[in-house]
Amino acid sequence: MRDPKLREIDERAFLRRLGPMLEVYAATMAPPAEQLPGRHTIMERHAAYPGFRAFVAERRGPLPGLAGPVQGFAYGFHGSRGQWWHDIVHQALAAREGAEHADAWMDDPFEVAELHVHPAAQGRGLGRGLLTALCEGRPERTVVLSTLDLRSATPAQRLYRSVGMVDLLTGFEFPGGGPLYAVMGGTLPLAPYPSASSSP
């Protein structure tokens, strides 16, 4: 079985793949089905944000539990005032640690909006490859994202920590309810990955 290839895609190619990417999103996040149309709209809107960048992991041939060629995807953009996630996180950071702390992380960030690998394709380094490719060469000073915050560290959290990212907020509930998240941040460029012998 050939490994999937990482490919950078532009806005138009991203929009053409929204269906397959939402399939991966649904498999990894298990959201209520009624939330998927809203997620589709959000991702469509994100494609027009400044500094948008996206990668997919695709392969030819079927994979158990997956109908299309997209096995994983990641995208992000330049964060700025007026964006929902950016403003919510900036406000929470300022309330907890002060405006200067919030500005240090959120004045010039690359915001990783989504990074998901289908469960049937996990454990082969696709998430690491997507994150590395997405952040490589970015002009922003920091990288920030949110990820599910469970009782024990998730594989995603271990991945982000392995490149120098730290917890900025934990047990954080975004407006509207839902699961708790950890907001994490790091400086760009990302720290080198640990050697294979010491990686999680």
Residues annotated as part of the active site: 160
Residue 65, classed as helix, strand or coil, is coil
Q: How many CB atoms lie within 10 A of CB 57?
A: 27
Q: Can you tell me the distance from the alpha carbon of 16 to that of 123, in angstroms, rounded to the nearest whole number? A: 27
Burial of 170 per CB tally in 10 Å (0-12, 13-18, 19+): exposed
Are the C-beta atoms of 164 and 187 separated by less than 8 Å? yes
Q: How many CB atoms lie within 10 A of CB 14?
A: 21
Greatest alpha-carbon span in the chain: 51
Are the C-beta atoms of 184 and 145 separated by less than 8 Å? yes
Torsion angle of C-alpha atoms 130, 45, 84, 117, degrees rounded to 10: -20
Distance of CA 67 to CAs 26, 55, 190, Å? 13, 19, 33
Q: Kindly state the DSSP code that residue 190 receives in the 8-state scheme.
A: P
